[in-house]
A and B are shown apart, each in its own frame.
Chain A
Amino acid sequence: MEHETRRGALKCMLWAGTGILWTVSGGIPRSSLLGDAHAAESGDLSFMQISDSHIGFANPPNTDVGGTLKEAVAAVAAQKGRAALLIHTGDVSHLSRAAQFDTAEQIIAGAGLETHYVPGEHDVLEDDGKTFFERFTKGAQHGWYSFDQQGVHFIGLNNVQNLKAGGLGYLGAEQLEWLERDLKGRPASQPIVVFAHIPLWAVYDQWGWGTDDGAQALTYLKRFGSVTVLNGHIHQVMQKVEGTVAFHTARSTAFPQPAPGSAPSPGPIKDVPADKLRSLLGVASIRQVQGKAPLAIVDTPLSA
């Protein structure tokens, strides 16, 4: 019962667009507003997420995506505390151009954090993504990889290539086999963080907001006690909990996209007043709270 109430409260706050502290404890979602005592708890590991910087985009509502990325990176630097790393969940560039990658990389370096990237569909428009992989996923020639940080296992996935006509995001057999092997033998108590560009859960199929074989990936993750799935692509905050898996999508640092089905297409919301734009862009801060609540996520817009 309490579970349901909390979930309801979470949903309300989500639409209000304010900062939310998001914790999952033993599969039970708990939410509280920023500034709550619970939010101040510090844990072993914290890290930050930015997404969808789209360097090269220069249309309404944002003709200075470099400027808003700089603001986002400044927000990351200001909030990072003891954060161990930064994750970028794809669409670093708008058109996969080397100059766009350069600009993004230079701005993001200002965060002063080791940064781990996964590709968005805008990053692999040329050369089957080779340029992106050489620069941003060094050593991972297909853009998927894993690493451990302070006991947490991080998995970066690529679900933006070889998409099928009429389909959604796609991981493919080779990547799924790799994922199954990567997870084999790990204790179920190890916290897992999965990050990929397109949501791994079905957000809105009509706009392609989901991953065809995402459910297959999730079957390998089911036995773990704490799984957090971080995505981008939809340029707005959405979250959902299923068992021990918490799904979360981040805001873009470039432009907002409409809520599912609320507009004729998922294209940029163009008519955002200049003074409102920054309330629809932002960064996320993810905290592992030691002991009781494995992970907490705080979404912060660039301005109120």
Chain B
Amino acid sequence: MPMRRTLLAGLLLGAISLAGAAAQTDDAAVTIDNFTFTPAEITISAGTKVIWTNRDDIPHTVTDAANPKDYKSKPLDTGDTFSHVFDKAGTYKYFCSLHPHMQGTVVVR
């Protein structure tokens, strides 16, 4: 009994650390350069975290284009990041609320 419990605990720990590592490598990255989201469209699997990084000298936001809005970042100054986890399959459009010609799409499979 004690042996089995230890084994189980070990297995669980292994599973958790694997999941942790997987979550990091599976994050999707979008950069903002020259008033453009790059890539403009990304395809991810459900549960993936998308991380946006602003590399412009001008602040931008990442704002859900749907109504009502599910998420909206604070203004991102140079080097600031924002992240959002997409749990459900679908096509999600977003934009910069300061420069609304800047648009991007997240496709969740």
Interface residues of A (CB under 8 A from B): 57, 59-60, 94-96, 121-122, 125-126, 163-168, 205-208, 264-268, 270
Contact between B36 and A163, CB atoms less than 8 A apart: no
Contact between B34 and A265, CB atoms less than 8 A apart: yes
Q: A165-B93, A267-B57 are in contact. List 6 more A-B contacts (CB 8 A).
A: A94-B59, A95-B59, A95-B75, A163-B97, A208-B101, A266-B35
Contact between A163 and B100, CB atoms less than 8 A apart: yes
* Chain B 82-107 interface 0/1 with A at a Cβ cutoff of 8 Å (1 = within): 00000000000111011111010000
Most buried by A among B34, B58, B77: B58
Contact between B99 and A208, CB atoms less than 8 A apart: yes
In the bound complex, what is the Cα–Cα distance between A261 and B63 (angstroms)? Answer: 25
Distance in angstroms from A99 CB to nearest chain B CB is 14
Cβ contacts under 8 Å, B74 to chain A? 125
A-B interface, 4 closest residue pairs, ranked by CB to CB distance from nearest: A265-B34, A165-B95, A165-B65, A265-B35
Distance in angstroms from A65 CB to nearest chain B CB is 12
The one of B36, B57, B78, B100 that contacts A165, using a Cβ cutoff of 8 Å: B100
- Also in contact, A165 and B58, with CB within 8 A (given A59-B78, A125-B75): no
Main secondary structure on B side of the interface with A? loop
Interface residues of B (CB under 8 A from A): 34-36, 56-59, 63, 65, 74-75, 77-78, 93-95, 97-101, 103
A-B contact count (CB 8 A): 58
- Nearest B residue (CB) for A212: B100
In the bound complex, what is the Cα–Cα distance between A96 and B93 (angstroms)? Answer: 26
- Nearest B residue (CB) for A257: B58
In the bound complex, what is the Cα–Cα distance between A125 and B97 (angstroms)? Answer: 9
- Also in contact, A168 and B100, with CB within 8 A (given A59-B78, A266-B35): yes
The one of B94, B98, B100 that contacts A164, using a Cβ cutoff of 8 Å: B100
Distance in angstroms from A53 CB to nearest chain B CB is 15
- Nearest A residue (CB) for B61: A125
Contact between A208 and B100, CB atoms less than 8 A apart: yes
- Nearest A residue (CB) for B78: A59
The one of A94, A126, A167, A268 that contacts B100, using a Cβ cutoff of 8 Å: A167
Cβ contacts under 8 Å, B98 to chain A? 121-122, 125, 163
Cβ contacts under 8 Å, A121 to chain B? 98-99
- Also in contact, A166 and B57, with CB within 8 A (given A95-B75, A208-B100, A208-B101): no
Contact between A59 and B95, CB atoms less than 8 A apart: no
Cβ contacts under 8 Å, B101 to chain A? 166-168, 205-208
Contact between B34 and A267, CB atoms less than 8 A apart: yes
Cβ contacts under 8 Å, A126 to chain B? 75
